[in-house]
Chain A
């Protein structure tokens, strides 16, 4: 229950941070610490160097222009939740942030930490992938941007390489015709890790869903884009997406078919398959309710 000793660094720039992370044989960035410190206390991890990201202002900014929303990797969940820009442009991102842990966790835990942990039950990843978000990754003298969907390799493994930091989450705007919803299912009403979750983004044009993006969480080694569910809805009239409709049932079943759940404390794979169907259908319905009337 003690954090093993380490050298502590608090660089002021991304470049300095990347340099520290590269030079050390065994370093880890520290954002909110709600994952990292827990793992270190439980004996699952120890590091020679810990690089705090707290003093890098750039990581803590939320900005929007006419093309996209930029969320710094070091923005806390509560700041995401409260951000007027996020709420206005992508309210479902704020909703997802609000489902995470408790207020105490959301006041320190960051969006970047959530993604970089690479947990399959991450509550931020599904909605961001559904919105087609990209992540900006910086190394010494380099920056690359890749779709978040490609960032996850398997449970707790990501494309981050030694010396790299996630610096920004970029979500491109799509005009008013796009609506989203994040639906999470946990074992109790608050502070619960997802048993399963579904994120939905629907682009609607003249009553037709021109593009559906459905992402399922906690039911596969990584948050997963459900190609089956997404294509089931793409090109379909939204009028046929009503409660109990065959189309919705089909989308739910497709999401379940795309899942690769495991049995664990929080539920059996069978149960997860059932729940993911329900969540997918609900997320679609709730997203549609967001359409301007």
Chain B
């Protein structure tokens, strides 16, 4: 029976009849269509759904709508007055507190409650107030700054300006190198930004997947008749009803079925799909599908899976379940180790972590009468999804339109086609209606594609002076049931080690092994964080063994500019040494190292990454990035059309900055349309940290093209040869006499009047022939490499083993930072995510391969109360291959974190934990062992 309730939302009274089981968040979103309030978990753990109920912050996913009867609710939509942002929103926008924006409405509402109650909170109060709102992107740092700034604004004061020393390479630039607020931030701050789940198409129905409940089995029989008979159900599909084609991420390893064909390989493998009027009916229908399994023996441990006689996941391929095998040897390690004065070998073990973007995946498909399908989806890689769907359905690209909405974070979780995209298309075709499919948090974990857990045997040989003579690494990657990105992951786990330190001899053996667990994939830093953690740990252990300072041993071996590495990668710009020296100075290393009291420690870790993969995922001659700039007819604005994906990292803004700089117009004249396959030219999307360099080059080229065309007209108007013209800050002038100028828009309007549309185009592909000729040489190639160093200081409770991360000092060589504020945001986010992975995160399975912590209650990620103070520096650098000298920051910034933290913990405790996550319990056990005379 429905209940009639009266509720006041943002000052407006509503009378609504609600089902008692309806939650407040669903009332707001689905019935009142106030979609600013987000849902990240549905279980009270993330705070994305925070609204104020009678002025107090609550999780609206855990409040029944009937319980809000007679009460007042404030949501993000009620905050701004017309077009004018509320001071909190303004602060969040200006200070760079918004990346993907999915946590933002909840975060802002929580801030509102805080400042209503306490107009002048101190830092500690701010940190505490926000610890019920998880943010996976920002590392909280800029959010704290924003709350402080907001409290200033609300008290009628101006918050203190941030001091920022521009890089040398950006000194003469007008738009590039500026700390500009992101284009999308105001929409995200006001709850206006549309994410896929916010879209409700007319006549839309919902789809859901039936997932395997057993880890390994043959499907004997599926009976869907009861499900089909349920009122409200429109379609029920099994493997027999969908194309019998394998798909995946890397073409040599397409091994997933759309829906299980006879066999399931992990708890979570999709078996059937239903479409119904609403999700609740879908769930009811799923319960009515009878599946008869014939269970097979399963294997969860990669070592056991490799053994002869172990159960096989695939009968026809991957012998001994070895899905990818890499065998690389550069130089001669036997000679290298023979030349070493000191050699040490250790085993390190990583953890199975999950990206946990705050926004759950969602896809909506709709066919039109002309036989075209439009898909709205939360993806990082519009083009790869487009390509894969075209391949699966045997359609040309032109018959499918992919529109990326705002994406609430990805970190690799959304870097490939998902079953939601495929099946929403099929269900929409079957039913003739738009179909929305979305994951719950638990289903996200089951789809997974998180970090491969790696078992690493690492051996390093050094001279007495610390010079590395040889490195040998063997890695076993636990891959889960399917390949996903795994082949690439396996190569990356080896190929990136030689980019950071010079190593004359190097051997890498990689084994990716299938197990009956959810598939692992590409997670920020793709394959590299665990080997980097191992390497940074072992290097510091060796430094201790040979009596050398940890930073000195790194300086000794640090990569230099214009180096051709032992594995045939070409490094151009490299300011690694400068990064090391910066963090040494800023952290007070010399005063602290070895001098801190027991329980306190300091450690260093380093990293670096590709600025975009040198080769695409599937063989393609298309340029990797493309851009179109269309100038408005009156010259007042320019629109950048780009296929690249802004998943919160800020690429729309950064690419617009590159184009604006090239054209000579100010940033406020730019607008951006991105990632809509009908409108924007192909971009390979947000993976391998490629967007700034590649998309930036394409956008700059399109801007250059516009400027060149415009100069022809301007030259006529000014009577000055085009070679003497300069465009800057909305003027076109004679470089020899800057008083001789015309406004940019005037020239543009004149252009249109004379020649029609002013459109510029640009494209970018990495230089040809990157990399060596050995098998797998393509992985690790890139036009440019980033470098970074981080020092971490911790406090460890020696009685409980609990780690408190106090500080991080980071220095990054990302080339020219096109938007320094966005760079800092990436670094801060990576530090907190990296520390969270190092200390807390681990997917755990029971004896039947069932994930026991598929939520944010038992799988913990860092809250605001766990985040350290972060000071990051962008060092002077210029990359010849990058737009205005820019490289990457997004993924590389994760890499130094794990090692730095592990080294700091070792320094604080005197014990070395080689297995992630570094839990209090492991620390305590190691301390006990040491006390009892162990190592």
Contact = CB atoms under 8 A, between A and B. Distances in A.
Contact of A191 (B1, B20, B132, B800): B132
A3 B23 contact: yes
B440 A189 contact: no
Nearest to B39: A1
Given A188-B863, A190-B128, A265 B62 contact: no
A190 B131 contact: yes
B703 interface: no
Contact of A192 (B58, B113, B860): B860
Contact of A102 (B113, B131, B442): B131
A104 B50 contact: yes
Given A1-B440, A104-B58, A271-B921, A191 B67 contact: no
Contact of B20 (A7, A78, A107, A267): A7
Given A5-B20, A41-B42, A274 B924 contact: yes
A103 B53 CA distance: 13
Contacts of B924: 271, 274
Contacts of B20: 5-8, 50
Contacts of A5: 19-21
Interface string B44-64: 110100100100111100111
Contacts of B45: 191
B21 A189 contact: no
Given A4-B21, A33-B67, A188-B865, 6 more contacts: A2-B21, A37-B62, A105-B44, A105-B62, A108-B58, A188-B860
Interface of A: 1-8, 10, 30, 32-34, 37-38, 41-42, 50, 52, 54, 78, 101-105, 107-108, 185, 187-193, 265-268, 271, 274-275, 278
B576 to A, nearest CB: 33
Contact of B64 (A37, A42, A185): A37
Contact of B67 (A3, A42, A52, A103): A52
B63 A33 contact: yes
| Residue from A54, A78, A268 having most chain B Cβ neighbours under 10 A | A54
16 contacts: A2-B279, A2-B280, A8-B1, A32-B62, A33-B63, A33-B67, A37-B64, A38-B43, A41-B43, A52-B67, A103-B113, A104-B47, A108-B58, A185-B802, A190-B865, A271-B921
Contacts of A6: 20-21
A190 B110 CA distance: 16
Interface string B1-26: 10100000000000000011101000
Nearest to A37: B62
Contacts of B21: 2-6
Contact of A278 (B47, B799, B852, B853): B799
B628 to A, nearest CB: 42
Nearest to B113: A103
A271 B920 CA distance: 9
B169 interface: no
Instruction: Tell me whether chain B's interface is mostly helix, strand or loop, or mixed.
Output: loop
B64 A189 contact: no
A105 B59 contact: yes
CB-based closest 10 A-B pairs: A102-B132, A8-B20, A190-B131, A190-B865, A189-B865, A3-B21, A271-B921, A104-B59, A278-B799, A107-B56
Contacts of A103: 57, 110, 113, 129, 131-132
Contacts of A278: 799-800
Nearest to B799: A278
Nearest to A42: B43
Interface in B848-890: 852-853, 857-858, 860, 862-866
A189 B800 contact: no
Nearest to A98: B128
B293 interface: no
A252 to B, nearest CB: 10
B132 A104 contact: yes
Contacts of B279: 2
Interface in B790-817: 799-800, 802, 804
Interface string B110-147: 10010000000000000011011100000000000000
B153 interface: no
B284 to A, nearest CB: 9
A107 B58 contact: yes
B66 interface: yes
A13 to B, nearest CB: 18
A244 to B, nearest CB: 11
A282 B131 CA distance: 25
Nearest to B858: A265
Most buried by A among B44, B56, B129, B920: B44
B720 to A, nearest CB: 63
B314 interface: no
A32 B1 CA distance: 22
A275 B42 CA distance: 32
Contacts of B330: none
A54 B852 CA distance: 34
Contacts of B50: 104
Contact of B57 (A30, A42, A107): A107
B283 interface: yes
A50 B64 CA distance: 11
Contacts of A190: 128, 131-132, 863-866
Contacts of A192: 860
Contacts of B804: 189
Nearest to B47: A104
A33 B43 CA distance: 11
Interface string B264-292: 00000000000000011001000000000
B463 interface: no
Contacts of B57: 103-104, 107
Contact of B852 (A4, A78, A105, A265): A265
Contacts of A268: 921
A38 B62 contact: yes
B741 interface: no
Nearest to B1: A7
Nearest to A43: B283
B931 to A, nearest CB: 13
B42 A1 contact: yes
B754 to A, nearest CB: 60
A267 B844 CA distance: 12
A107 B925 CA distance: 38
B840 interface: yes
B840 A188 contact: yes
Contacts of A30: 64, 67
B928 to A, nearest CB: 8
Given A7-B1, A108-B63, A267-B921, A189 B58 contact: no
A78 B55 CA distance: 13
Contacts of A275: 800
A266 B840 CA distance: 10
A37 B442 CA distance: 17
Given A34-B62, A50-B20, A188-B863, A265 B800 contact: no
Contacts of A188: 840, 860, 862-863, 865-866
Contact of A38 (B1, B44, B133, B840): B44
A52 B56 contact: no
Nearest to A192: B860
A42 B799 CA distance: 36
A275 B57 CA distance: 33
A267 B801 CA distance: 12
A185 B50 CA distance: 26
A33 B62 contact: yes
A274 B461 CA distance: 39
Nearest to A275: B800
Nearest to A4: B21
A142 B63 CA distance: 31
B44 A104 contact: yes
A6 B21 CA distance: 7
A268 B53 CA distance: 39
Nearest to B134: A191
Contacts of A52: 66-67
Contacts of B799: 278
Contacts of A187: 840, 860, 919-920
